[in-house]
Amino acid sequence: SNIALINLSCVSNQLQTLNIRNGTNTSLGTVDATNNPDLSCITADVETVPIDTNGQPIWQIGTASLSFDCHYYQTKVPDNGFEQALIALGYDSGAPDDYVLTANISSLTSLNISNKGISDLTGLEAFESLVSLNVSNNALTELNLSNALLENLNGSQNPTITNVNLVQLTNLKSLNVSNTNITGIDLTTNTNLISLYAANTLLDIIENLNACINLEVIDFSFTKLGAIDLSRNTKLLSV
């Protein structure tokens, strides 16, 4: 509402949002928003920094970018199948627009988005409370997740998956990657695993399986695995 504003300085703060869009940004002689490390986007009338007659920027915005809409407090979900699934579950509304309110998803502990034609899980990182996730029977090419609380992950029936990165999933207890095209799994950080299903894959390398001393169930049927050392997996009930 400050349409008469001609100078703005908000240097060295902890800003996460800044909205200067008022229809009169052309009157802003100077803007200095530097040294706000948490400010990644500034909502403005323009999407490029104005320059003076010498080609020099007249606004100083640090590492932030300018946008007509910064989508503050929202998470970007660019895959329409993923967002449509969230709409169907009541966590988003309206037509898909690539964004969902972060507050609607950040506390979810369980999510089933199987069989939705999803190829991109961008945005899943905002589901920071997830314990159980089912993304089976989709069109994913990789499972590269950062949800540290995740205990149960079903990524099976994704024949296009060739890469699985589990390094951040230190709480993982159950993993199903059967019927994918993975060739290897590194279990170095997944020592809490209890069940591991990797049947009907191209799997021929498993790193640090013997570190998963809590394993009770494994299924490596119809893979390319040769001999494996199970001497430390003393709790196995089913192989």
pLDDT (tens digit per residue) in 171-204: 999 999 999 999 999 999 999 999 999 999 999 9
Query: Where does the pLDDT of residue 228 fall: very low under 50, low under 70, confident under 90, or very high at 90 and above?
Result: confident
Higher pLDDT, 237 or 72: 72
Tell me, rounded to whole angstroms, the distance of Cα 202 from its chain centroid. Answer: 26
- Mean pLDDT (whole number) for 97-114: 98
Which residues make Cβ contacts (< 8 Å) with residue 152, sequence separation at least 6? 131, 132, 133, 172, 173, 174
At 218, give phi and psi (nearest 5°): -135, 145
Furthest-apart CA pair in the chain: how many Å? 76
| pLDDT single digits (tens) 131-148 | 999 999 999 999 999 999
**Rounded (10°) CA dihedral 204, 208, 214, 217:** 0
- Mean pLDDT (whole number) for 118-123: 98
| pLDDT single digits (tens) 7-64 | 999 999 999 999 999 999 999 999 999 999 999 999 999 999 999 999 999 999 999 9
pLDDT at 156 over 90: yes
pTM: 0.87
Nearest to 203 by CA among 183, 188, 221: 183
Query: Where does the pLDDT of residue 231 fall: very low under 50, low under 70, confident under 90, or very high at 90 and above?
Result: confident
- Mean pLDDT (whole number) for 212-234: 91
pLDDT at 226 over 90: no
pLDDT at 238 over 90: no
Beta-strand relationship, 195-197 and 65-67: unpaired
Query: Where does the pLDDT of residue 115 fall: very low under 50, low under 70, confident under 90, or very high at 90 and above?
Result: very high
